[in-house]
A and B are shown apart, each in its own frame.
Chain A
C-alpha cells in the first residue's frame, strides 16, 4: 500500500497497535539533585582549598597570557615574563623595557602590592604601559596571585 506523508508511519503504527503499551523506562538514571535545591558543593560558597586556588588562578591567567609568558627563562612578550614575579623588585627583569612610571615606582611585588596593582593598574602605577589586565573580582585576583606565587621554582 502506498504510504502517505500526511499519515506518518509512526501514526499508522499507532492506529494499528492501539494505545496502552508499557512505558519504556530509562536504562540508567543518575539523580544528582532536585530542581530548586541548592547544589551540594557550590564552588563559590566556601573558601577554596589551596590547590583549588592555584588551579583557578591558572585558568583565570588566560586573560593575561596574551601578553605575559610564565615559562622559566621564557622571552617577554608585550609584557614582561612573570615567572617568579612574586617577591621581585619592579623593573629588574633583564631584556624588558619598562615604562618610566613602572621602573620608577620602587615597588617590590608582594601579594598585597599585586592585589592593588591588578585591582587597578593605572591607579597603582599612574602612567604604566599595561593597558589591560585589570581584574575587578578580589577572589580572582587572589587566585591569580596564588598561581603566580606557585611558579617560584
Chain B
C-alpha cells in the first residue's frame, strides 16, 4: 500500500474531490453519502438515539429540526479545539439554506451509523487514487466496509472538513433542503422547482406562501431520499468561506462546556482512581508495598494490575496521596536503551548499515547515486529530532461503570469506536455491551488516537465493580504515555555548476504517517533517492500533531537551506527556482516573502528564515524573524501564507495556523523527552517547558484560496514549517547551523 517508488504522477491526472461528488450525483446518493444515507432513511432507528428532545424531527442521520426551527447538525468528528464541530455545521447549514443564528451542533454518538469512511480513505490512500468516476462507487463502498472493520469513527489527519464536511455534511444538507422543498410542494400543491429555501424558511413567490423549515420537518422525513442532491458552486456559497461565529465558543467562555474529565456517572456516588504505570515500557510490577497506603484517609481499594498500580478512594486527592505512599519494585526491562544517547546510537547503527543506497526505497527518481557522484559540489548533513510528549491540558482520564455484563465509558477520545472495541476486548465483553460517551477533548494532538488509558479505566472498573473515574496525574501523563518518536536523518545533495540541486538522497529511521511526509515533491529535483531504514523505538509511539511532518519538515527544509547556502544563493530565490512545476507552492512562498519584506535590511543580530511545506493537502510557507542579540533565540515575527484550496471558515483556519505555529514553536525551542535508566526524565511543565505569552511572536496569516475543488486540512499544516524556518533564521543571524532539536538547548 502507498508504495511511492513510482515517479510522482502529474497532478492533473489525479482523482479529484469533484469527481467523487460527481460520481455520487450520477450513481445515486446512497453510495456517495455512504452509511448515513443509504436508500432507506435510518431516521426511525436513529431518532430515539439522537433526537430525544421535545418536538425534534430527524430529517436524515446528520440533522434534525425542532419546533422552534432550530437546526442541529449531528457531527461524527470530535471537537478538540480545532473547530470541526462548527465548520461542519457551517457546511451543512449552507447547503440547507439555514439561518446561522438558528443552527446548533451535536456530537454524534459512538455508533456504527456515524462512521467516517472518507477520513479512512484520506489516510489509507492520501490523494493517490486515480479512480475513474465509474469506479468511485466501488471504492466508496470498499472504504465504508474498511471503516466499519476499523471502527472508523476517527478525528485525525486534518480531514474533518475536506472529507466528512465535503462528502457527507454538505450532501446531507442539500438532501434535506430538497426533502423539505418536496414536502412543501406536496402540501401547497405547487411544483418543487418554484419553491425557494433561504434563512430557514421555505417560500413560494407566485402564491405568496411561506413557512419555517420546522413546519415541514416531519413530512420531509417521510420523503424519499434524493438520489441526486445538487451541491452549490462557490459563487452561491453563503456561509462557506465566511467567518461564521463558532458555535462552541460561548459554552467554553461561560464554563458550561463539558470535557471528558468533567464526567460523572448519573445517579451514582463517584470514586476516583489514581494510577502509576511501570516506569520503563514493557516492565511489570514485581512487588508492591501498600502497608502505609491501606490506612490512609479515603482509601477504598488498592490494585496491582501487573502493568500498573491503582488506588481507588473517595476523592482524587486522597487516591493520589495514598498512591504516593506505595513503594514498588519492577521487573528488568528488555529494551537495552537506557539513555537518549543509546537511542540515537541505535538509529545511527541502522543508518550506517543502510549506507548510501540501503533501506526501503520510498521515492526513487532518476539516478541519485550517479548524479551525486557527478555533481560539481556535494553537501551532506545529519539531523536529529527528540522524543516529544503531547502534553494536552486535560490529562488522560476515563470514567467507567462496569455492571451486569455491561460497560459504560465517558472519555475524551479521537476514536470512540476503537475505545469501545478495546474496552470490550479487555473485559471479555462484546462491543454491543459497551457504550462510549465522548464529550469535548481538552486537547488531543494525536495522543487521543490511542486508547490505552480507556482500557486501564475499564479494567479498574471491572475489578471494583463500582463506578470509578480514573485520572492520570500530570507527571503520569508526561512520563508514562505514548510519544512522538525520536528520529535521525542523513541527507546528501549534489549541486551542478550553475548551483542547481540536481541530486537529493535521504535516509531516516521512522516512517508512520502520512506516507509522503518524507518527500518534497513540489521541488523539481531530477534525481532523488528517499529511503526508510527502520529502527525500533524504546518509547511507544503515538501520532503527534502533523505526525512525520513534525520531524521531516525540519530535516528537509533545513537541508534545502544548507544547499542554498552552499550554492551561494538566496534561500528564497533558490527555492523559487525549483518551483517551476508547482505554481500554487510558488504563489504561497512569494506571498509569505512579501508579507515579511524578505530582502529588506534587518537590525544587527536579527535574521530571517523561511520554510515551505505541503502537508495534509495544504501548502504553507512561514518566514521567521529572530533576534539573537541576547545570545539566545527570541522570535519577533512569524509571517505565514497558506493555501488550503478553499478555507471554509477563514477565521477558524487562521486560528489553526496560529495554534500550529505556537505548538510547533514549543517543540522546536524546548521540546525534549529524555531518558535516564530507560525511564522518562521530565515530569511536569517546569522541566517540559511551553512557549509563554511573553515569548510568543506576532503572527500574521494570509490565506490563498487556490483551488476550491481540492481542499486541504487546517489542524496540522501550520506546524511543520516553523522549526526549519526558525533554525534557518538563527543561521542567517549567527552563521550557526542547528541540526538537532530542541533549539534553545544549543544556546545556554
Contact indicator B124/A14 (Cβ below 8 Å)? no
Q: Does any Cβ of B come within 8 Å of A47's Cβ?
A: no
How does the 8 Å CB contact mask read for A22-45 relative to B, with 1 for contact and 0 for none?
111111111111111001000100
Number of interchain pairs (Cβ within 8 Å): 129
Query: What is the minimal beta-carbon distance from A42 to any residue of chain B, in angstroms?
Result: 9
Q: Give the interface size class of chain B.
A: 35 or more
Closest chain B residue to A37 by CB distance?
B300
- Measured in the bound complex, the distance between the Cα atoms of B295 and A30 in whole Å is 11
- Measured in the bound complex, the distance between the Cα atoms of B542 and A12 in whole Å is 14
Q: Does any Cβ of A come within 8 Å of B288's Cβ?
A: yes
Q: Does any Cβ of A come within 8 Å of B247's Cβ?
A: no
Contact indicator A2/B511 (Cβ below 8 Å)? yes
- Measured in the bound complex, the distance between the Cα atoms of B430 and A128 in whole Å is 73
**Which residues of B lie under 8 Å from residue A24 when comparing CB positions?**
305-306, 426, 459
Interface centre among A1, A2, A9, A36 (most CB of B within 10 A): A2
Query: What is the minimal beta-carbon distance from B546 to any residue of chain A, in angstroms?
Result: 10
Contact indicator B428/A22 (Cβ below 8 Å)? yes
Query: What is the minimal beta-carbon distance from B360 to any residue of chain A, in angstroms?
Result: 10
The one of A6, A12, A14 in contact with B513, judged by C-beta atoms closer than 8 angstroms, is: A6
Q: Does any Cβ of A come within 8 Å of B240's Cβ?
A: no
Query: What is the minimal beta-carbon distance from A92 to any residue of chain B, in angstroms?
Result: 42
- Measured in the bound complex, the distance between the Cα atoms of B149 and A143 in whole Å is 66
Q: Does any Cβ of A come within 8 Å of B301's Cβ?
A: yes
**Which residues of A lie under 8 Å from residue B2 when comparing CB positions?**
2
Closest chain A residue to B299 by CB distance?
A32
Q: Does any Cβ of B come within 8 Å of A112's Cβ?
A: no
Query: What is the minimal beta-carbon distance from A4 to any residue of chain B, in angstroms?
Result: 5
- Measured in the bound complex, the distance between the Cα atoms of B302 and A26 in whole Å is 10
Contact indicator B300/A35 (Cβ below 8 Å)? yes
How does the 8 Å CB contact mask read for B400-440 relative to A, with 1 for contact and 0 for none?
00000000000000010010011011111111000000000
The one of A11, A19, A31, A36 in contact with B431, judged by C-beta atoms closer than 8 angstroms, is: A19
How does the 8 Å CB contact mask read for B528-558 relative to A, with 1 for contact and 0 for none?
0000000000000111000100000000000
**Which residues of A lie under 8 Å from residue B511 when comparing CB positions?**
2
Query: What is the minimal beta-carbon distance from A25 to any residue of chain B, in angstroms?
Result: 7
Contact indicator A5/B300 (Cβ below 8 Å)? no
- Given the interface contacts A3-B512, A5-B123, A11-B151, does A23 sit within 8 Å of B301 by beta carbon? no
Q: Does any Cβ of A come within 8 Å of B154's Cβ?
A: yes
- Given the interface contacts A10-B418, A11-B418, does A32 sit within 8 Å of B294 by beta carbon? yes
- How many chain A residues touch B (Cβ–Cβ < 8 Å)? 35
Query: What is the minimal beta-carbon distance from B709 to any residue of chain A, in angstroms?
Result: 23
**Which residues in window 421-474 of B have CB below 8 A to A?**
421-422, 424-431, 446, 449-452, 459, 462-463, 466
Query: What is the minimal beta-carbon distance from A3 to any residue of chain B, in angstroms?
Result: 6
Q: Does any Cβ of B come within 8 Å of A17's Cβ?
A: yes
The one of A6, A31, A32, A35 in contact with B269, judged by C-beta atoms closer than 8 angstroms, is: A35
Q: Does any Cβ of B come within 8 Å of A136's Cβ?
A: no
The one of A1, A5, A12, A36 in contact with B547, judged by C-beta atoms closer than 8 angstroms, is: A5
- Given the interface contacts A21-B425, A35-B271, does A5 sit within 8 Å of B156 by beta carbon? yes
Q: Does any Cβ of A come within 8 Å of B578's Cβ?
A: no
- Measured in the bound complex, the distance between the Cα atoms of B547 and A7 in whole Å is 13
Contact indicator B512/A35 (Cβ below 8 Å)? no
- Given the interface contacts A5-B446, A10-B452, A32-B294, does A26 sit within 8 Å of B300 by beta carbon? no
The one of A6, A27, A35 in contact with B304, judged by C-beta atoms closer than 8 angstroms, is: A27
Contact indicator B123/A11 (Cβ below 8 Å)? no
**Which residues in window 95-126 of B have CB below 8 A to A?**
119-120, 123-124
Q: Does any Cβ of A come within 8 Å of B361's Cβ?
A: no
- Given the interface contacts A4-B124, A8-B542, does A32 sit within 8 Å of B425 by beta carbon? no
**Which residues of B lie under 8 Å from residue A36 when comparing CB positions?**
269
**Which residues of A lie under 8 Å from residue B450 when comparing CB positions?**
8, 10
**Which residues of A lie under 8 Å from residue B431 when comparing CB positions?**
19
Contact indicator B306/A15 (Cβ below 8 Å)? no
Closest chain B residue to A31 by CB distance?
B301
- Measured in the bound complex, the distance between the Cα atoms of B541 and A12 in whole Å is 14
- Measured in the bound complex, the distance between the Cα atoms of B616 and A6 in whole Å is 13
Q: Does any Cβ of A come within 8 Å of B515's Cβ?
A: yes
**Which residues of B lie under 8 Å from residue A6 when comparing CB positions?**
119-120, 123, 154, 156-157, 449, 513, 543
**Which residues of B lie under 8 Å from residue A7 when comparing CB positions?**
120, 123-124, 150, 154
Query: What is the minimal beta-carbon distance from B545 to any residue of chain A, in angstroms?
Result: 11
Q: Does any Cβ of A come within 8 Å of B356's Cβ?
A: no
- Measured in the bound complex, the distance between the Cα atoms of B554 and A134 in whole Å is 61
Contact indicator B449/A28 (Cβ below 8 Å)? no
- Measured in the bound complex, the distance between the Cα atoms of B314 and A7 in whole Å is 37
- Measured in the bound complex, the distance between the Cα atoms of B139 and A124 in whole Å is 88
**Which residues of B lie under 8 Å from residue A12 when comparing CB positions?**
150
Interface centre among A2, A6, A11, A27 (most CB of B within 10 A): A6
Contact indicator B513/A27 (Cβ below 8 Å)? no
The one of A9, A22, A30 in contact with B301, judged by C-beta atoms closer than 8 angstroms, is: A30
Contact indicator B124/A28 (Cβ below 8 Å)? no
- Measured in the bound complex, the distance between the Cα atoms of B424 and A17 in whole Å is 12
Q: Does any Cβ of A come within 8 Å of B297's Cβ?
A: yes
Q: Does any Cβ of B come within 8 Å of A106's Cβ?
A: no
Contact indicator A28/B288 (Cβ below 8 Å)? yes
Q: Does any Cβ of A come within 8 Å of B244's Cβ?
A: no
Contact indicator B421/A19 (Cβ below 8 Å)? yes
The one of A3, A14, A33, A34 in contact with B418, judged by C-beta atoms closer than 8 angstroms, is: A14
- Taking beta carbons and an 8 Å cutoff, which residues of A are in contact with B? 1-12, 14-15, 17, 19-36, 39, 43
Sample of 6 more A-B contacts, CB < 8 Å, known A30-B290, A35-B269: A3-B512, A5-B156, A6-B157, A19-B431, A26-B306, A32-B294
Supply 12 A–B pairs (Cβ within 8 Å), ascending by A: A4-B512, A6-B543, A10-B451, A10-B452, A14-B421, A14-B422, A26-B305, A29-B301, A29-B463, A35-B269, A35-B300, A35-B466
